[in-house]
Amino acid sequence: MLSRILVVFQLIVFLAATAALPARAAVVNTGEYLAAARAEQSLGAAGAALARADVQAQLTALGVDPQDARARVAALSPAELAQLNARLDELPAGSSVLGLIGAVFVVLLILELVGVTDVFSGV
């Protein structure tokens, strides 16, 4: 709930800030052109701002410092932002092969012994 309120607040701040920028309507910059040309990435300016705030809130919820989360989200491309916003929970998070537990460990140990996986020789 709190994160939702924060998202809305950040969106208002963002829109206020962008509205104050001097408009240079007559030129299409490369990023704007690609956003329009690549249909799958076209969140639109307001949609992108919302997605940015939403992903930032998700990173914070996963234990990232809020200041770091802001800087991390700022360097994502529109396509990456759309991808994280749509399915951050399902995306692979490369970690390591340490820290396996219980049944998973036993299953993987058997598979390892018959040569299907390489988990334990991985690290």
Partner 1 sequence: MRAALIASLLPLLGLAAGCALLKPVEPPTVEASVELDAVPFFPQDRYQCGPAALATVLSATGLPVSAEALVDDVYLPDRRGSLQAELAAAARRHGRVPFPVAAGEEALVAELRAGHPVLVLQNLGLDSLPRWHYAVVVGYRAEEAHWVLRSGRERRRRESVRAFRRHWRGADRWGLVVLPPGQLPAVAGPRDVVDALAAAEPVLGAEAILPGWTQASARWPGDADLAFAAANGLRAAGRPQAALRRYRQAIANDPRHAAARNNLADLLLAYACVGQARAVLAPALAALDDDDPLRPVLAATAREIEQAEPAACRLENTQEELQP
For partner 1, the closer of residues 18 and 77 by Cβ is: 77
**Distance in angstroms (rounded) separating the CA atoms of residues 4 and 8:** 6
CB of 71 to partner 1, least distance (A): 7
Taking the least distance from each CB to partner 1, the nearer of 8 and 17 is: 17
Residues 6+ apart with CB under 8 A from 54: 7, 85
- CA dist 45 and 88 (Å) reads 21
Which is closer to partner 1, CB of 7 or CB of 82?
A: 82
Q: How far is the CB of 99 from partner 1 (least distance, A)?
A: 7
Q: Provide the binding-site residues for partner 1, judged by CB under 8 A.
A: 25-31, 33-34, 36-38, 42, 59, 61-65, 68, 71-80, 83-84, 88, 91-99, 104, 107-108, 111, 114-119, 122-123
Token pair 């809130």 is found at 57
Is residue 76 within 8 A of residue 84, CB to CB? The reply is yes
Minimum distance of partner 1 from residue 60's CB (angstroms):
10
From the CB of 88, what's the least distance to partner 1, in Å?
Answer: 7
Distance CA 118, CA 4 (A): 42
CA dist., res. 85 & res. 52, Å (int): 8
- When the beta carbons of 21 and 27 are compared against partner 1, the nearer one is 27
